[in-house]
Amino acid sequence: MKRAFTYRFYPADAQAAELSRTFGCVRKVYNMALAARTQAWARQERVNYHQTSAMLTAWKKTAELAYLDEVSSVPLQQALRHVQVAFNNFFGKRAKYPRFKSRKKSRKSAEYTTSAFRFRDGNLTLAKMAQPLDIVWSRPLPEGAQPSTVTVSQDAAGRWFVSLLCEDAGVKPLAATDTAVGIDVGLDHLLTLSTGEKIANPRHERLDRARLAKAQRHLARKARGEGANRAKARRKVAKIYVRITDRRRDHLHKLTTRLVRENQTLVIEDLTVRNMARNRKLARAISDAAWADFRSMLEYKAAWYGREVIAVDRYFPSSKLCSHCGALAEKMPLSVRTWTCHCGTTHDRDVNAAKNLLAAGRAVAACGAGVRPQRRTPGGQSAMKQEVSRREP
């Protein structure tokens, strides 16, 4: 399995200048290729990667774009491939129409293939550079690994990163277990497990909210333009943001790795986080919780280690359904954190939801039972339990 290993590095002045030029050329080629394909699309014509590659050759021969020939050609060709992938995703209805890259807002990156870099004895040298990059090897690469692709990037805070795509033979399925867990995400507690365990929400953004607000006010007082003072203030804001992001990502990585290692089956709710974030009162807290990132990490790590992630339908009434008798409560406002069913069972709202998610996930895995909103039947048995009982041998 191929994995990307990302490291921070500190370029020399000449290397930083060369990479900055490469980033600019990559952005220029991407935008020009996108413009050419958009114009062809308006004429009801199709332009593919090979045609844009021929265009790139012609662009380099012009006087105004001759500077494209001063940087490595491989990142420019990779930019054309990225345009092709973007259009493939658009035509496959997996993404929206590709957008142009912004000099100020878009991610600065350049991708090098094997013909444009040399990796020997732990030293990485890129094309057009005489000296290897000063990389901080925070963790070793897999033994005998040879990168197939190298991506260099710079974030908004000015930090430089290099990502090496390598074959990692160490990623193997873990020994199968019979453990399963239901996971209910929330804001008071980041996660509530069907075992009753509640994992606190670190609220990383709230911890740095005062520092962030102060830095943003300082930036707002700077005159708009390309001034050095405004750039310095912008970097200060960006450093606070990346501090928040790094701590959040580190916490989620540790959490998802633990859950995947301990459980064979993990059941979550298929939430539409983007729609939920439209709530003006909860948008900031939902974004800080990063539920979408949690699910993404959980799914790809489960694929790595031979685990199963089951996403229960978002309309499944996990909070209103009694996990003991299957009765469905009529209303369950968010302010209600504990409730008592008519059967006499008192539920913690989040633990009950996690238990119901686990039951629904097991039903799906075992017999394909539905997980849509259930109605309590006149006989007193929930529709979901009836469905499961009919399918059991």
Query: Residue 152 forms beta bridges with which residues?
Result: 110, 162
Q: What's the total number of domains in the chain?
A: 2
Mean pLDDT of all residues in 81-102:
95
Residue 256 in any domain: the answer is yes
Instruction: Identify the CA nearest to 185 among candidates 288, 114, 289.
Output: 289
Instruction: State both tokens at 123.
Output: 């030293």
Instruction: Identify the CA nearest to 180 among candidates 58, 264, 91, 67.
Output: 264
Mean pLDDT of the chain: 89
CA distance 319 to 48: 50
- Amino acid 386: pLDDT: 39
Residue reference for tokens 């990559």:
26
Cβ density class 273-301: b for 16+ within 10 Å, e for less: beeebeeeeeeebbebbbbebbbebbbeb
- Amino acid 144: pLDDT: 84
Residue 184 annotated among the catalytic residues of the structure: yes
CA distance 203 to 197: 18
State the number of CA atoms in the 13 A half-sphere of 213 facing the CB.
6
CA distance 383 to 57: 65
Residue reference for tokens 């997996």:
94
Q: Indicate the DSSP class of residue 376.
A: B
- Amino acid 150: pLDDT: 97
Does residue 325 have a pLDDT over 90? no
- Amino acid 37: pLDDT: 95
More confident residue, 334 or 384: 334
Both 186 and 155 in a single domain? no
Both 150 and 44 in a single domain? yes
Both 94 and 140 in a single domain? yes
Residue 350 in any domain: the answer is no
Both 162 and 186 in a single domain? no
Which amino acid appears at position 223 of this protein? A
pLDDT band at 392 (very low <50, low <70, confident <90, very high): very low
Q: Among 184, 246, 262, 313, which one carries the catalytic annotation?
A: 184
Sequence-distant (6+) residues with CB within 8 A of 134 are 9, 10, 11, 12
Both 56 and 189 in a single domain? no
Residue ending a domain, among 268, 291, 312, is 312
Q: Among 18, 205, 269, 288, which one carries the catalytic annotation?
A: 269
Residue 269 annotated among the catalytic residues of the structure: yes
Residue 69 annotated among the catalytic residues of the structure: no
Both 195 and 306 in a single domain? yes
- Amino acid 391: pLDDT: 35
Residue ending a domain, among 167, 199, 219, is 167
Does residue 79 have a pLDDT over 50? yes
Which amino acid appears at position 169 of this protein? A
Both 27 and 139 in a single domain? yes
Both 276 and 251 in a single domain? yes
Mean pLDDT of all residues in 162-170:
91
Q: Nearest 10 degrees: CA dihedral of 55, 56, 57, 61?
A: 100
Mean pLDDT of all residues in 316-332:
83
Residue 25 in any domain: the answer is yes
Element (H, E) at 198: strand 198-200
Both 12 and 137 in a single domain? yes
Q: Are 183 and 50 in contact (CB under 8 A)?
A: no
CA distance 47 to 258: 47
Sequence-distant (6+) residues with CB within 8 A of 291 are 185, 271, 273
Residue 341 in any domain: the answer is no
Does residue 387 have a pLDDT over 80? no
State the number of CA atoms in the 13 A half-sphere of 300 facing the CB.
10
Evaluated on CA atoms 98, 102, 105, 110, the torsion sign reads positive
Mean pLDDT of all residues in 74-80:
97
- Amino acid 377: pLDDT: 38
- Amino acid 63: pLDDT: 94
Q: Most distant CA pair in the chain: distance in Å?
A: 83
Residue 352 in any domain: the answer is no
Q: Nearest 10 degrees: CA dihedral of 385, 387, 388, 389?
A: 80
Residues of the chain with pLDDT > 90, as a percent, come to 68
pLDDT band at 367 (very low <50, low <70, confident <90, very high): low
Q: Indicate the DSSP class of residue 194.
A: T
Both 149 and 220 in a single domain? no
Sequence-distant (6+) residues with CB within 8 A of 371 are 312, 313, 316, 360, 361, 363, 364, 384
Mean pLDDT of all residues in 52-75:
95
Residue 23 in any domain: the answer is yes
Residue 327 in any domain: the answer is no
Instruction: State both tokens at 120.
Output: 């020997």
Does residue 244 have a pLDDT over 90? yes
Q: Are 79 and 26 in contact (CB under 8 A)?
A: yes
Q: Are 81 and 48 in contact (CB under 8 A)?
A: no
Residue 322 in any domain: the answer is no
Which amino acid appears at position 154 of this protein? Q
Residue ending a domain, among 281, 312, 343, is 312
The string of pLDDT tens digits covering residues 8-40 is 999 999 999 999 999 999 999 999 999 999 999
Query: Reduced to 3 states, what is the DSSP secondary structure of residue 313?
Result: coil
CA distance 145 to 125: 16
Residues of the chain with pLDDT > 70, as a percent, come to 93
Both 137 and 78 in a single domain? yes
Both 245 and 286 in a single domain? yes
Domain extent, residue 207, equals: 180-312
Mean pLDDT of all residues in 283-309:
93
The string of pLDDT tens digits covering residues 95-148 is 999 999 999 889 999 999 999 999 998 899 999 999 999 999 999 998 888 999
Query: Residue 4 forms beta bridges with which residues?
Result: 165
